[in-house]
A and B are shown apart, each in its own frame.
Chain A
Amino acid sequence: MAKSKAISFDSEMYSVKKTNKFVSALIYVGLVVWLLIDLFPLYYLFTFSLKSTNEITGSNVIGLPKEWLWSNYSRVFTLGKKTGVPPVRHFFANGGLEKSFTNSVLVAALTIIICLIAALMATYAITRIVWKGSQTLNSIFMLGITIPMHVALYPIYVSFSKMGILKSYWALIIPYAAFSLSMAIMVCTGFMNDIPKELDESACIDGCGTWGTFFHIIVPLMKPALATMGIYIFLQCWNEFMFASVFGDEAHYTLPVFVSNLKGSNITDWGLVGAGLVLATFPMLLVYVFMSRRIQESFMVGAVKG
């Protein structure tokens, strides 16, 4: 259907047309409107994080704060701190925002490492070693992209609790790594196919074994793919909520769980909640300002390379 339309241009369409001024003005209006829609909630969030409840709920809903209440921010740092932990213990062991921030970083970092190692090795075996069934295996791995994480929740919870790793970082890292694996293999396959096979062959002639080729030839050339995938996996773990809220205990809460706990009893204290949300969000946005191209690439590559 699309084909026939593409070929049979109607005769009246043959006149040369340039994008007219009206249309291009309309395009700009459209773009700017969506720009505002995107930015306004963030502006709203940032300003209400600095206001008193009084201002937010009545006197000054959308303006800049009349009085900039940075104290909202310092109060966030007192939240969720364990009571009764002796001060000798490490600062970060004491719960609260800093602790969940470090938890998030740690979980994300280990997930990236584990997932990428597994994905690289598997991709190598699938694309560079010739064997029957490699393609079948690849398609099976690809099925993983569609499997919803929720399915694993109950069985994994049960088996992790039997293994006694429920109260640890591994309870999050292992599922995160597994659920990013399919995407990582897909992207790595795309990149690895771009590396000429002759490189392997010459390495082979030079006496490198399979492992040697893998570590000395392939891995260094895959660095761009690893960076791209690393960013992608990082963002997936960073924002994951369901597993994080169910599996972790307080010592292992990640940032989204900390944020959701802000709701608890402070719900009417909008300034405080706002400050918590800003602290949980804006560091990431700051990184994005400097790395926007790379971060966008990491999201594109999955869909495009597939």
Chain B
Amino acid sequence: MHKKNKSITIFLFLLPALVLFIGILIWPIFASVHHSLYQYPTFSDPGEFVGFQNYIDLFNKQYDFGKAVVNALILAALSVFIQLPLSLGLALMLGKGIKGERFYLSVYFTPVLISAVVIGMLWEKIYNPIYGLVVKGAEALNIIDKLPPEGLLGNPKTALLAVFIPTIWQYVGYHMLLMYAGIKGVSSELREAAMLDGATDGQVNRYIIIPIIKPIIKVSIIFAITGSLKSYDLIKVFAKDAYNCSYKVPSLLLVRYAFHNAGGIASAIAVIMIVMCFAFAILINWLFKERDLYGKK
């Protein structure tokens, strides 16, 4: 009797969360897998069963999905190898305890609070090939010849970079904050002891602080990669109608096909995205487990 009561209580406590979690997160995964095997020309009509044809079609040339995935991976790589080191550098500089560190911290974090749509529209103006800040700046510095005449966003070679710059601008502060929190968690005795032993700042950072904040770096890497794989808002603002772009990404195609009578294709993209996100999360966890001799909390 008591036991049964307890189960009921547990169930009731879990109920709201389970309803949300299963209804909105878990069920759509299975639904997507199911949808991806059909055509779904309209929302109510599954259409023909096509098996894995949607997946095969996706990698055919016309859908440009392969390119979209490569673009997302490039963005992810840029985030990990450019954005995160930059964040770490800033966090280490601030973490030393310098004058006005709170002020710097707060300002660096500001762009995180701004909607990516606003940032996209602002940077679109900055990139405008005729009146934008970039062009006017280049004119002032007399290096206008070095810029592509299409503007950074219009040139297929620079477009992805042009997408990446506002992303760094926005999220460096976020990762910096996480790392800063970790650095502040390193006891000052440890730091002082090392300094007394004659370690330089660089050595303290390298051999003491970074190993200790490794778990946070791991979290940052996972966030940066999954964030890049799902990036949408900013790119949607830049891409306008999403046909013209050297920076197609999976989510852009997903939204397009979902509402252009190709639900099956959209669902297949969703399934591939989720597999990629999980695969990367597992990969990063595994990479850090192998070498994680210090960072355990």
Are A259 and B115 closer than 8 Å at their CB atoms?
yes
Q: In whole Å, how far is A104's beta carbon from the nearest beta carbon of chain B?
A: 10
Between A and B, 5 residue pairs with Cβ closer than 8 Å are A42-B110, A57-B131, A121-B15, A256-B233, A304-B181
Q: Give A residues with C-beta under 8 Å from B.
A: 1-3, 5-6, 9, 13-17, 19, 23-24, 27-28, 30-31, 34-35, 37-39, 41-42, 44-45, 48, 56-58, 61-62, 114-115, 117-119, 121-122, 124-125, 129, 131, 137, 141, 143-144, 146-158, 161-162, 174-175, 177-179, 181-182, 185, 210-211, 214, 235, 238-239, 241-242, 245-246, 255-256, 259-260, 262-263, 270, 273-274, 277, 280-281, 284-285, 288, 292, 295-296, 299-300, 303-304, 306
User: 11 additional contacts, CB 8 Å, given A154-B263, A242-B233?
Assistant: A3-B294, A9-B207, A15-B198, A62-B136, A125-B13, A129-B6, A147-B29, A153-B255, A154-B267, A178-B24, A260-B237
Main secondary structure of the interface of A (DSSP, over half): helix
CA–CA, A115 and B29, complex, Å: 21
Q: Which residues of B lie under 8 Å from residue A211 when comparing CB positions?
A: 9
Say whether B14 faces chain A, with CB atoms less than 8 Å apart.
yes
Are B115 and A239 closer than 8 Å at their CB atoms?
yes
Q: Which residues of A lie under 8 Å from residue B107 when comparing CB positions?
A: 35, 38-39
Main secondary structure of the interface of B (DSSP, over half): helix
CA–CA, A241 and B232, complex, Å: 9
Q: Report the nearest A residue to B115, measured CB to CB.
A: A239
Q: Give B residues with C-beta under 8 Å from A.
A: 6-7, 9-10, 13-21, 23-25, 27-29, 31-32, 35, 43-44, 89-90, 93-94, 96, 98, 102, 104-118, 121-123, 125-126, 130-131, 133, 136, 169, 172-174, 177-178, 181-182, 185, 195-201, 203, 206-208, 211, 216, 219-220, 222-223, 226, 229-230, 232-233, 236-237, 251, 254-255, 258-259, 263, 266-267, 270-271, 273-274, 277-278, 281, 291, 293-294
Are A270 and B125 closer than 8 Å at their CB atoms?
yes
Q: In whole Å, how far is B68's beta carbon from the nearest beta carbon of chain A?
A: 13
Q: In whole Å, how far is B135's beta carbon from the nearest beta carbon of chain A?
A: 9
Q: Which residues of A lie under 8 Å from residue B106 when comparing CB positions?
A: 288, 292, 296
Are A179 and B208 closer than 8 Å at their CB atoms?
no
Are B274 and A147 closer than 8 Å at their CB atoms?
yes
Q: Report the nearest A residue to B93, measured CB to CB.
A: A27
